[in-house]
Amino acid sequence: MKKRGVLSLVMSFCVAAMALLPGCSSDKGENGELNVFVWTEYVSDEAISAFEQQTGIKVNLSTFSSNEEMLAKLKSEAEGTYDIILPSDYMVESLIAQDMLEPIDISTMDNISNINPIYLNPSYDPGNQYSVPYQGGVAAIAVNTAVCDAQITSYADLFNPELAGQLVVLDDFRAVIGITAKSLGYSMSETDPEVLAEIEAQLLELEDNIALYDSDSPKTALISGDASVGMVWSAEIALAMEENPDIEIIFPEEGCYLFLDNWCIPKGASNYDNACTFMNFMMSEEAAVMNLEAFPYLTTNMAALDAMGAEYVENEAKNPPAEVIAAGEFCRSLDAETLTIYDEMWTELKG
Instruction: Evaluate whether residue 2 is within a structural domain.
Output: no
> Does the pLDDT value for residue 348 go beyond 50?
yes
Q: Do residues 157 and 230 both lie within one domain?
A: yes
Taking a C-beta distance cutoff of 8 angstroms, is the pair 87, 36 a contact?
Answer: no
Q: Do residues 88 and 206 both lie within one domain?
A: no
> Does the pLDDT value for residue 8 go beyond 90?
no
Taking a C-beta distance cutoff of 8 angstroms, is the pair 224, 233 a contact?
Answer: no
Any idea what DSSP says for residue 317? T
Please give the residue range of the domain that contains residue 56.
27-134+260-319
Give residue 28's pLDDT. 74
CA dist list (Å): 347 to 155, 176, 179, 185: 21, 12, 17, 23
Q: Do residues 240 and 94 both lie within one domain?
A: no
Give residue 15's pLDDT. 35
What CATH number does the domain containing 125 carry? 3.40.190.10
State percent of the chain over pLDDT 70.
92
Q: Do residues 55 and 186 both lie within one domain?
A: no
Residues 265-278: tens digit of each pLDDT: 999 999 999 999 99
Give residue 25's pLDDT. 32
Instruction: Evaluate whether residue 20 is within a structural domain.
Output: no
Give residue 94's pLDDT. 97
> Does the pLDDT value for residue 23 go beyond 50?
no
Residues 6+ apart with CB under 8 A from 344: none
Q: Among candidates 81, 86, 75, which has minimal Cα distance to 48?
A: 86
Q: Pseudo-torsion of CA 334, 40, 230, 297, nearest 10°?
A: 90
Kindly report the pTM of this predicted structure: 0.89
Instruction: Evaluate whether residue 34 is within a structural domain.
Output: yes
Q: Do residues 66 and 145 both lie within one domain?
A: no
**Burial of 95 from C-beta contacts in 10 A (0-12 / 13-18 / 19+):** buried
Any idea what DSSP says for residue 225? T
Greater model confidence, 2 or 118: 118
CA dist list (Å): 2 to 5, 11, 31, 160, 340: 5, 14, 36, 82, 64
Instruction: Evaluate whether residue 273 is within a structural domain.
Output: yes
Overall domain count for the chain: 2
Q: Do residues 172 and 264 both lie within one domain?
A: no
Q: Do residues 71 and 157 both lie within one domain?
A: no
Q: Do residues 297 and 167 both lie within one domain?
A: no
Q: Do residues 214 and 336 both lie within one domain?
A: yes
Average pLDDT score over residue span 171-200:
97
Q: Do residues 116 and 202 both lie within one domain?
A: no
Taking a C-beta distance cutoff of 8 angstroms, is the pair 168, 176 a contact?
Answer: no
pLDDT class of 30 with cuts at 50, 70, 90 = confident
Q: How many Å apart are CA 118 and CA 258, to the nearest integer? A: 15
Q: Do residues 292 and 307 both lie within one domain?
A: yes
Q: Pseudo-torsion of CA 169, 174, 178, 181, nearest 10°?
A: 110
Give residue 66's pLDDT. 96
pLDDT class of 29 with cuts at 50, 70, 90 = confident
